[in-house]
């Protein structure tokens, strides 16, 4: 579904991604793990068209999408749940969700948007309870649910999530990840960036390990979970010594 080839991205003189190649097959959950600053978010932003790559190809359903503006990429079927949720605090929960479907109102009957809204409420009953509440008053976990729900409202084929568990209590992390799994079981393809490597590896089918802008390892998640490098990275023990 998504194929990335030789992607290189610069922030000024700093090379944030170095020749990154990866793919996400239809129906898969693929996770990207790596330390802070490894380039995970940059990769997401580059796929989304927020950051322009200096080299490489991004193919979505066999069509090149590099160079397209973010709205065009969203309408092709990719949605991003950004790190830190980035929801609209002064708007209500429902308004936030409707904004997620912004591009669809022009070309689709309202009913189909409302049906998806219903699906979001089914997935996260808490959001239904708080539909008229201002997003800024939600707890961290609820805000994350809202961010996922909002991305889902664009009816993506590929949902990319950047650190969905960041700053959440362990119990909430589980329920967010469970929701991602449910979405996947309903047919949504997922690319997940997660610092909580253990959780990500439990959830995903395959994974890539990004280190200072390069992919150094990939494979089935059970192999990665058993991999010494990954274990060190995950445990945070003397990781620096072996990778730099």
Partner 1 sequence: MEIENKVEYLSPEGWRQWHLELLQSTLNRVYSRVPFYRKLMDEKGLKPEDVTDLSALKKLPFTTREHLEKNYPYDLFAVPLRDIVRLHTFPGPRTPIVKGFTRRDLASIRRLTARFLVTSGVTSEDIVQICLDPGMSIWIEELKEGAEEVGASVIPPDPQSVTNRIRIMRDFRTSVLVTTPSYALYLAHFMQEKGISPPESLRLIVFVGEGIEAPERLRLEKALGVDTRLGYGVTEAVGPGMGYECEEREGYHLAADYFLAEIIDPETGEDVKEGETGELVITTLTVKANPLIRFRTGDLCRFLPGTCPCGRTTPRISQIVGHSDGRVSIRGIKVSLSYIETLLEETYGHVPEYLLCIRRRNYLEELELWVAMNEKLFEPSILGLHRIAEKFEKTFEETFGLPCRLKLVEKDHLLQVAKGQKIIRI
Residues that bind partner 1 (CB under 8 A): 3, 5-6, 8, 18-19, 21-23, 55, 211, 214-219, 223, 226-229, 242-243
Which one, 167 or 219, has the nearer CB to partner 1?
Answer: 219
Taking the alpha carbons of 126, 127, 130, 134 in that order, is the dihedral positive or negative?
positive
Q: What is the DSSP string of 145-175?
A: HHHHHHHHTT--SEEEEE-TTTT--HHHHHH
Is-contact 194 200, C-beta < 8 A?
yes
Q: To the nearest whole angstrom, how small is the minimum distance from the Cβ of residue 15 to partner 1?
A: 9
Which one, 22 or 147, has the nearer CB to partner 1?
Answer: 22
Element (H, E) at 8: strand 2-11
Count of alpha carbons within 13 angstroms of residue 226, beta-carbon side: 4
Taking the alpha carbons of 139, 142, 143, 144 in that order, is the dihedral positive or negative?
positive
Which one, 105 or 242, has the nearer CB to partner 1?
Answer: 242
Q: To the nearest whole angstrom, how small is the minimum distance from the Cβ of residue 201 to partner 1?
A: 13
Could you say which DSSP state residue 92 is in? B
Diameter of the chain measured on Cα atoms: 57
Which one, 19 or 103, has the nearer CB to partner 1?
Answer: 19
Which one, 102 or 239, has the nearer CB to partner 1?
Answer: 239
Q: To the nearest whole angstrom, how small is the minimum distance from the Cβ of residue 143 to partner 1?
A: 35
Q: To the nearest whole angstrom, how small is the minimum distance from the Cβ of residue 185 to partner 1?
A: 20
Query: Which residues are paired to 189 by β-bridges?
Result: 158
Q: To the nearest whole angstrom, how small is the minimum distance from the Cβ of residue 216 to partner 1?
A: 5
């Amino acid at each position: 579904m998504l194929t990335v080839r030789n992607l290189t991205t610069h922030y000024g003189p700093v090379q944030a991604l170095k020749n990154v190649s990866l793919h996400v097959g239809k129906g898969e959950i693929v996770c990207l793990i790596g330390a802070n600053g490894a380039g995970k978010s940059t990769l997401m932003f580059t796929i989304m068209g927020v950051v322009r790559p200096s080299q490489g190809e991004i193919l979505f359903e066999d069509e090149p999408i590099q160079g397209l503006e973010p709205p065009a990429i969203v309408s092709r079927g990719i949605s991003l749940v950004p790190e830190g949720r980035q929801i609209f605090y002064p708007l209500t929960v429902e308004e936030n969700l409707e904004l997620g479907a912004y591009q669809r109102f022009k070309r689709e009957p309202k009913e189909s948007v409302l049906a998806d809204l219903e699906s979001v409420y089914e997935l996260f009953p808490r959001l239904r309870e708080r539909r008229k509440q201002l997003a800024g008053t939600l707890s961290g976990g609820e805000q994350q649910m809202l961010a996922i729900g909002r991305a889902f409202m664009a009816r993506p084929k590929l949902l990319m999530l950047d650190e969905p568990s960041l700053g959440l209590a362990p119990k909430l992390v589980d329920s967010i990840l469970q929701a991602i799994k449910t979405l996947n079981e309903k047919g949504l393809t997922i690319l997940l960036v997660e610092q909580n490597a253990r959780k990500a590896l439990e959830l995903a089918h395959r994974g890539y390990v990004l280190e200072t802008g390069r992919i150094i390892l990939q494979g089935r998640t059970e192999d990665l979970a058993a991999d010494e490098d990954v274990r060190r990275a995950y445990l945070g023990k003397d990781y620096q010594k072996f990778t730099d």
